[in-house]
Amino acid sequence: MARPSGTMGGMSALALALTYRRLVRDSGTLRLLRADHVAAAAALLSTHLGSPGARLPADDLHELVDADLEELRDHFELGSKSAKAYCDDWRSAGLLVRRPAPESRGETYELSPEAIDGLRILHELDEPRSTVTESRLVGLMAAVHQLAIDTDTDVTRRVEALRAERDRIDAEIARLSGGDVDVLDGRRALERVTDVLLQARDLPADFARVRARFEELNHDLRASIVNADAAQSAVLDDVFRGVDLIESSDEGRTFSAFSALIRDPERSATFDVDVTDILDREFARALPPEARRTLRTLVRELKNGSREVHGVLTEFARGLRRYVHSQEFQRDRAMRRALQEALAAAIPASRQTRPYREVGLDLELSAMRLTSVGETTPHDPTEFDTGSALLDEPPGTVDLAALAALARETEIDYPELVRNVNAVMASTPAATVGDVLGTHPATQGVASVVGLLSLATRHGQVRGEESEELGWQGVDGGERRARVATHVFTQEVDA
């Protein structure tokens, strides 16, 4: 009896089980999803580091998580662990990445690609993606069709495909020129926008994954330099010849092409105009504020992510060249040889003696607690400098006019505004802030305008459906104008 060939990629159940066991053991994403306090952990990580490109100093993250733990412990059994202990656990589990702060002493935390994937899975479980949509099917078919054309070696078929596309475009132009305009309906437009937003939501994880891959590549190149013999190190020869091995790798070439595309000013400007036009459409008003904000900042996030990864790529390339040209790798090779010789000598020695046997030699160990050098704070004498000594000034006469002018600069003159409002209200049953300013100009500039709006809010009405334009003179003598909701005084104001 023939067995069904339904195994994934031809793999047997045993092979798949072993593969999945490795994933369960090594995947940070699965460690997050099966954590004891996955709800609290995911909420804390998403709140403070979930936004694209989010990165926080370690002390700031500890302080924020500690504050949230006080509230979470009322609803979850989280024990008494501190925020620092939780962050250390998350870092050990591969959910947080700790890096040196680029502009100050200390370290920063950011989400690992695995943590971003885990948070995205939880978000999709909470808000499942829609089923197969027309826009997704059209995009899939267009991509397959374009791939078939681009990989076809038959020039005749490719020319025929291009002519067919040209005929379709000419027919579309003729139809539109004749007034037959077929605008995409709101439902289908929202489907396409949702697909765009789903792709945009994957960008932070993609950038983090590219950065992590460059880190692995940098580590592998350095290891190959140390481990290879001097006469057989092709990596060493390439670095000496000026070859940028990281950027010339498959990942480096792919990212460089993407980076050049997003940095193209013409394409970026066109993309910005397209996003602005979409947000001005009628159907886009149904989008939630978060979705509109994601679309509006999409180009900026792409540029920021590209700039950050490109900086890491450049840093690794320079570090690798410096590592080679400074002959620092020779020291690491010597250390590797010493360790290998020690291990080789330890194997026959282990047959004669045990590692814990008394050797008759006492070694004094330091009682000082060993910590990271990054925790030390150098003494800075300027922090204790109080500046020049204060001198006693002889008493003088107070200028009342100067004090009054100072008070007008720092406080709103409400008595004057009350008099102005009551003077206008004496001849009319109702008056707007603009009416008051038309009779009594703002002597304190924008401060007078703010004061009148505050008085009207307390002693009148605010007509949100109406607006009026208010004018005043700035401190530089220039005219200023602003349009605000109409504020109406309906009675005199008490002093």
pLDDT (tens, 9 = 90+) of the chain, 495 residues, equals: 444 444 555 678 888 888 888 888 888 888 888 887 888 888 898 888 887 778 888 888 999 998 888 888 888 888 888 888 888 888 888 888 888 776 666 788 888 888 888 888 888 787 766 555 556 666 667 777 777 777 778 888 778 888 888 888 888 788 778 777 777 677 777 777 777 777 777 777 777 777 777 777 778 777 877 777 654 456 656 655 555 666 666 767 777 776 777 777 777 778 778 888 888 878 778 888 888 887 787 777 777 777 777 777 777 777 777 877 777 878 888 888 888 888 888 888 878 887 777 878 887 776 666 666 666 777 777 777 777 777 777 776 656 666 566 666 667 888 888 899 989 888 888 899 999 998 899 888 888 888 888 888 888 888 878 888 888 887 777 888 888 889 898 888 876
Which secondary-structure segment (H or E) carries 150?
Answer: helix 134-150
Residue 286 near residue 194, CB atoms below 8 Å: no
Q: Are 456 and 462 in contact (CB under 8 A)?
A: yes
User: CB of 274 within 8 A of CB of 295?
Assistant: no
Question: In angstroms, rounded to a whole number, what is the distance separating the alpha carbons of residues 283 and 94?
Answer: 41
Please tell me whether the overall predicted TM-score, pTM, comes out greater than 0.95 for this model.
no
Q: Can you tell me the distance from the alpha carbon of 489 to that of 433, in angstroms, rounded to the nearest whole number? A: 8
**Structural Rg of the chain based on CA atoms:** 35
Q: Which token pair is 471?
A: 């004018």
The C-alpha atoms of residue 234 and residue 227 are separated, in whole angstroms, by: 12
In whole angstroms, give the CA distance from residue 450 to residue 466.
Answer: 18
Burial class (CB in 10 A: 0-12, 13-18, 19+), 342: exposed
CA-wise closest residue to 209 among 56, 89, 97, 319: 97
- For residues 419-428, one letter each, b for 16 or more C-beta atoms within 10 angstroms of the residue's C-beta and e for the rest, the string is ebbbebbeee
Strands of the sheet containing 479-489, edge to edge, are 431-432, 479-489, 460-473
Torsion of CA 197, 202, 204, 210, to 10 degrees: -140
pLDDT value of position 2? 47
Task: Compute the distance between CA of residue 199 and CA of residue 194 in angstroms, rounded to an integer.
Answer: 9
Q: DSSP string spanning 45-103?
A: HHHHH-STT--EEHHHHHHHHHHHHHHHTTTS--TT--HHHHHHHHHHTTSEEEEE-SS
Could you give the strand order of the β-sheet that contains 107-111, starting from the edge strand earlier in sequence?
A: 56-57, 107-111, 96-100
Q: Are the C-beta atoms of residues 255 and 313 closer than 8 Å to each other?
A: yes
